[in-house]
Amino acid sequence: MNFTKNYADRLNKIPPYLFAEIDRAITKKRAEGVDVISLGIGDPDLPTPQHIIDALNDAAEDPKNHRYPSYTGLLEFREAVSKYYKRRFNVSLEPENEVVTLIGSKEGIAHITPAFVNPGDVVLVPSPAYPVYEIGTILAGGSPHIMPILSENEFKPNLSEIPGDIARKAKLMFLNYPNAPTAETAGREFFSEVVDFARDNEVIACHDNPYTEMCFDGYLAPSFLEVKGAKEIGIEFNSLSKTYNMTGWRIGMVSGNADVIAGLGKIKENVDSGVFQAVQHAGIAALNGSQECVFENNKIIQKRRDFMVDSLNELGWDVKKPKATFYLWFKTPDCSKSTDFAKKVLDETGVVITPGTGFGKYGENYIRIALTQKLERLKEAVLRLSEFKF
């Protein structure tokens, strides 16, 4: 039997997941014997710090952690999140009803739409962006309204350009700073504009903040929840994935407006059974422990950033040093289409870079490099790129 013709309409509306396609291309190249250097997906190559692994091991030995966890998460983990927000951002959160543990922030982002979006409802989605904002909207039967984020506007959406009727109809708005894929940052002033917009239009602002700790040159990224009124209209997704090199562990959190959190919780209560408690204990160790590991991590990424940006500029490519995230986002040096350029680079050098269009149509003519390889491999990548003819 071939069941692909039985796919639901919503499945047929989903464009191919870019990273799955890139994975297939990599597998093919490797099978051909090519030494592939992947600067593609944003998955840290550095290990999870030892004290976090130790906390997992200890907690895994305790039979009381072997049972179903609660879908809202261990209160102790939510307290650790609340303490982190207080210490780092001076934001007060009630661990009981303003924080929920997530199976990675991707899970929460994908589940916020079925909680608040009816078929036909509008969701404001930036482009380029992390693909889940738009796909989650489509899965819920909603209608994404694309907000272009362009270099001339420092990769922020122009809120005054959103038509009034669309703004009033919108249920949710997704934002993400420090941003993937553009590596742009946002200040409190922009977040304040978002709060005003959300309040005026009764839109729930969903800020995605997984790179809040991955900052360089002394820059400290703010939380959306720091801004006055933010908790009345919005929530913030956060994650331990990038901060502590824990992408495979699947643990994140959402904080903010209690009604919104409760709505998301209602979906979660019915579709999942929470995060393995031993992983939550590891998360507690991460949040409550010394943050020296985060500092050391950022030092390594900053070195890679400096090497890569300086080297690419020497090759005549126009690349800027980002203040945050482990991404470089820049125009294709020959002004060619993103996918053509990325394909040519892979074919001729074995280096994987991500075409900007994988993040939406406003990513056209851009490419993204993830700094998720050791310095020696980056040096090898630059060597190959220096011989690349376009």
Ligand X SMILES: *Cc1c(COP(=O)(O)O)cnc(C)c1O
Is 133 a binding residue for ligand X by CB under 6 A? The answer is no
Neighbours of 28 (CB within 10 A): 12
Rounded Cα distance between 305 and 293, Å, is 18
Is 243 a binding residue for ligand X by CB under 6 A? The answer is no
At closest approach, how far in Å is the CB of 176 from ligand X? Answer: 5
215 alpha carbon, distance to own chain's centre = 15
Let me know: does 115 contact 266? Beta carbons within 8 Å. Answer: yes
Strand pairing class (354-355; 122-127): unpaired
Note every long-range contact of 274-277, with CB atoms under 8 Å and residues 24 or more positions apart, other chains counting: 274/68, 274/69, 274/70, 274/71, 274/72, 274/73, 274/101, 274/103, 275/69, 275/73, 275/101, 275/102, 275/103, 275/250, 275/251, 276/65, 276/69, 277/59, 277/64, 277/65, 277/67, 277/69, 277/74
Query: Which residue, among 156, 146, 151, 148, has the nearest Cα to 178 in the 3D structure?
Result: 156
At closest approach, how far in Å is the CB of 210 from ligand X? Answer: 5
Q: Which is nearer to ligand X, 250 or 281 (CB)?
A: 250
Of the candidate spans 99-107, 196-204, 304-312, 330-338, the one that interacts with ligand X by CB under 6 A turns out to be 99-107
Q: Which is nearer to ligand X, 44 or 114 (CB)?
A: 44
Q: Which is nearer to ligand X, 319 or 324 (CB)?
A: 324
Of the candidate spans 188-196, 222-230, 240-248, 362-370, the one that interacts with ligand X by CB under 6 A turns out to be 240-248
Is 130 a binding residue for ligand X by CB under 6 A? The answer is yes
Of the candidate spans 31-39, 155-163, 236-244, 331-339, the one that interacts with ligand X by CB under 6 A turns out to be 236-244
How big is the site for ligand X, counted in residues (CB under 6 A)?
A: 14
Q: Which is nearer to ligand X, 201 or 245 (CB)?
A: 245
DSSP state, residue 210:
T
270 in the Ramachandran plot: left (φ > 0), alpha (ψ -120 to 50) or beta?
alpha
Is 252 a binding residue for ligand X by CB under 6 A? The answer is yes
Q: Which is nearer to ligand X, 239 or 338 (CB)?
A: 239
Of the candidate spans 28-36, 83-91, 104-112, 267-275, the one that interacts with ligand X by CB under 6 A turns out to be 104-112
Rounded Cα distance between 287 and 79, Å, is 10
Helix (H, G, I), strand (E, B) or coil at 343: helix
At closest approach, how far in Å is the CB of 181 from ligand X? Answer: 8
Of the candidate spans 69-77, 143-151, 234-242, 281-289, the one that interacts with ligand X by CB under 6 A turns out to be 234-242
Query: Which residue, among 104, 122, 126, has the nearest Cα to 113 in the 3D structure?
Result: 122
Q: Which is nearer to ligand X, 72 or 176 (CB)?
A: 176
Strand partners, 235: 206, 256
Is 356 a binding residue for ligand X by CB under 6 A? The answer is no
Among 65, 127, 176, 277, binds ligand X (CB under 6 A): 176
At closest approach, how far in Å is the CB of 275 from ligand X? Answer: 11
At closest approach, how far in Å is the CB of 107 from ligand X? Answer: 7
Q: Which is nearer to ligand X, 80 or 385 (CB)?
A: 80
Q: Which is nearer to ligand X, 122 or 180 (CB)?
A: 180
Taking CB positions, which residue lies at the least distance from ligand X? Answer: 104
Residues 280-339 that bind ligand X (CB under 6 A): none
Rounded Cα distance between 205 and 124, Å, is 9
Q: Which is nearer to ligand X, 80 or 180 (CB)?
A: 180
Let me know: does 253 contact 42? Beta carbons within 8 Å. Answer: no
Strand partners, 378: none
Please give the sequence-ordered ranges of beta strands (E in DSSP) within 225-345, or none if there are none: 234-239, 252-256, 327-331
Rounded Cα distance between 73 and 75, Å, is 6
Is 239 a binding residue for ligand X by CB under 6 A? The answer is yes
Strand pairing class (366-370; 327-331): antiparallel
Q: Which is nearer to ligand X, 109 or 385 (CB)?
A: 109
Of the candidate spans 110-118, 235-243, 256-264, 315-323, the one that interacts with ligand X by CB under 6 A turns out to be 235-243
Binding residues (CB under 6 A) for ligand X: these are: 42, 104-106, 130, 176, 180, 208, 210, 239, 241-242, 247, 252
